[in-house]
Amino acid sequence: MNKKNIYIFVTLTLFFALINLTEADVTRAKVYCPDDNEPLNIRESIGGNIKTALACNTEVKVLDQNAGVDGSGRTWYKIEYGSGSVGYAVSTYIKIIETIKLSGSDNIYVKENYDSALDADGFMACYEDTTDVSLRTEPNGNKTGKKVSCGEKVKINSVSEGSGNCGYFYNITDSKGNSGYVCGYFVNTTKLSSTAMNYYNTKESLDSYYNSLRSKGFPESYLPYLAEIHARHPNWVFEAEKINIDFNDVIEGESAYGRNLLEGAYFSQNYRSMGINTYDILNDTFYQYPTEAGWYDASTEAIAYYMDPRTYLNEKYIFAFESLKFNSAHNSDIIKKVLSSQSFWPKVYQGYDGNIYEDIVKATEEVDISAVHIASRIKQEITGISETDPRLGGTFNYNGQSYSGYYNFFNIGVYGDNKIVNGMVYAMNNGWNTPFNAVYGGSKFIGEGYISINQDTMYYQKFDVSTNNGHYTHQYMQNLAAPIQETNTTYNTYVNNLSDYLNTAIKFTIPVYENMSNYAVVAPSIGNPNNYLKNITIDGSTISNFSYDDFSYDIKVPGKVNSIKIGATTINSNATVKGTGDIPINEKQTTITLNVTSESGRSRDYVINVTKDEVEEGETVELSYILDNIGIKYNENYMYGISEDTDVKSLINNVSNVNSYASVTIKDKDGNSKTSGVFKTGDKVTISNSKDEITLTILLYGDINGDGRIDKDDCLAILRHLNGYTSLTDVYKVAADSNKDGKIDKDDCLAILRHLNGYTDLNK
């Protein structure tokens, strides 16, 4: 598989995915535009100066739903937007999407999930992709036909030593009872193998070795992993590098939109972000990153998994922490074996002295960077491309002219809509007009730009946490799995070509963050993460106020009802629901819980609180009973007593609470259906039961122009009417009698001004 890295070498404004990683619940919301598509002003304080403006549907996080009330009686929210900016907005224009209880219901990282020991010997670890691992009859033997998946619990039965690219195998039993052998690198376990225990029983004390690791600053959770590796490679040296950043903060910083991507062809959907910029929950659609076809923003759980240093602590992937300085053992014969799968090199070098293998060794020695690392990086980047590709000297067009003879083996500068041309312009500007210049220039770029500033391991090149001049932005690639994928090439090169090197005192610098979980982050499970419902039905009819992101419903049923049939449809067809079917309703109040489990194993609950209606008139509830119990005033023509900024959903909910079998239809003055937004004078509400219906017009005193607001424009409408410039009719004429004295005059304008200044509420 050619899993390339994606790079950014320009300054970008990156917006954080709207995910909160603290212990508090997360209230997701978005800018709501009920009247027009004008941006919403965000203010420095309640009623204060304008700080910025946010477009309709911009997602925000609500920090405080009771930030305060202004002089007009409007409630204000304190919100967070963009990359951590804070401001204030009127609550009417911020629509709550969901309050997430941090219990693991979404594919977000929650530290508490890993603070307790998990009930298993180990878990399946996925690294370079999320393909299932086949069980084998014996080490390197035939496949049994059974497979185990990422994150799956396993029982370790025994260990068998291996050779070559897999040093040892575990015989495991999975959660379904299937047994077989898998390479030990694919099992994340703190259980020492029999090989390791034999070493510590005969060679040195395990307690003594643990104490030596503690003295270096390694936390307890690192010790079993390092002890297993040490037993197999006693000469290797492990050094802890303290990273003075809270691990939660690291994950939040790395969760900025576009900062970490994964290739969709190789990674399960559960590894993708469910943020507002990246996923449409209702349509179960993930959005590709705009400039990288086939690549998706990573979930915070996936980011936490690939950032957790313990993920890399086995004898193969620990090479993500190896120093990338020049190593004299890396000769051209070894480099040739690294790049042997790329057959285009002789053609690339036609007309030039030397070859790619000698050029890499020469260039990396001058720059003081690992030749194997540079060869692995080149292999990662351009395996599978055509011999005529511009990056190999082929032709490309730029500003109306044709160019060739420039080289870019590292994909440096390759980003954006016209990525290849952008990369070749970078090569032109830097004089990469020979293969050696491209090798030397790319090696120098990495050496000076990364190695020299302490980003001197593959891990640190991907994750900018080791430098002192800010974090997260100076990262060589967007590909989240790049350190793992490149380590695979490096390790296999050593095993197959430098086996003696593996017996030397190789030094590994391993990061240790503040406030890490007590146990390693487990590989996310595979499958689709969507555990939302498309609808909930009662006796075949959808709950009238249902929304996928509302998780609690209060309904009433006629008093003679003894059972109801609950149905539910999931948005994703692979999710499952428990709690549907015929439900007895024997008590005055019954609580029904629908548990929805995604394909990836995540669950959430929808709760239905059923109350038996006190009305005993068969299955039909009279319209007058409904109208008398929904908290409004009405007469034969109008529905009134509704406060300004009242959302139409509140009336829908109130009707449903009185009787779930009644239906509500709301239309604006032009006859268009309304299911959200505020009430406006002239809206029409139709309520029906099984035999009757009634339609009433919304009357909002003071809202004379029918825009849903009571303001100076309405006062102007009164004055225009009084001076004969226009003539108010129907409900708008009634609304103009703001003080309800039976006539329209300047006193009605005064009533509006009193309302605006908080002295009265015209609609109480």
d(CA 450, CA 467) in angstroms, rounded, equals 10
> Could you tell me which of 18, 24, 9, 39 has the C-alpha nearest to residue 83?
18
d(CA 764, CA 762) in angstroms, rounded, equals 6
β partners of residue 685: 666, 696
The pLDDT mean for the chain works out to 88
Q: In which residue ranges of the chain is pLDDT below 50?
A: 1-2, 7-24, 100-104, 617-618
The CATH number for 26-100, chosen from 3.40.50.300, 2.30.30.40, 3.40.50.10490, 3.40.50.1370, is 2.30.30.40
pLDDT tens for 272-287 read 999 878 999 989 999 9
Q: State residue 685's pLDDT score.
A: 94
Q: Tell me the three-class secondary structure of 16-79, residue by residue.
A: ECCCCCCCCCEEEEEECCCCCCCCEEEECCCCCCEEEEECCCCEEEEEEEEEEECCCCCEEEEE
The separation between CA 30 and the C-alpha centre of its own chain, rounded to angstroms, equals 16
End-to-end CA distance of the chain: 68
d(CA 180, CA 159) in angstroms, rounded, equals 11
Q: State residue 24's pLDDT score.
A: 40
Question: Angle of helix 247-254 relative to helix 300-307, nearest 10 degrees?
Answer: 120
Contact 33/99 with Cβ under 8 angstroms?
no
Q: State residue 32's pLDDT score.
A: 81
Q: Give 717's DSSP letter.
A: H
pLDDT tens for 647-658 read 888 888 778 777
pLDDT tens for 507-528 read 999 999 999 999 999 999 999 9
Q: Which CATH architecture has domain 527-619?
A: Sandwich (2.60)
Contact 552/575 with Cβ under 8 angstroms?
no
β partners of residue 535: 569
Question: Angle of helix 482-497 relative to helix 371-382, nearest 10 degrees?
Answer: 120
What are φ and ψ of residue 649, in 5° steps? -65, -30
Contact 592/608 with Cβ under 8 angstroms?
yes
Three-state secondary structure call for residue 320: helix
Contact 501/491 with Cβ under 8 angstroms?
no
* Domain spans, the chain: 26-100, 111-309, 330-456, 527-619, 712-756
Within 13 A of 259's CA, how many CA atoms are on the CB side?
26
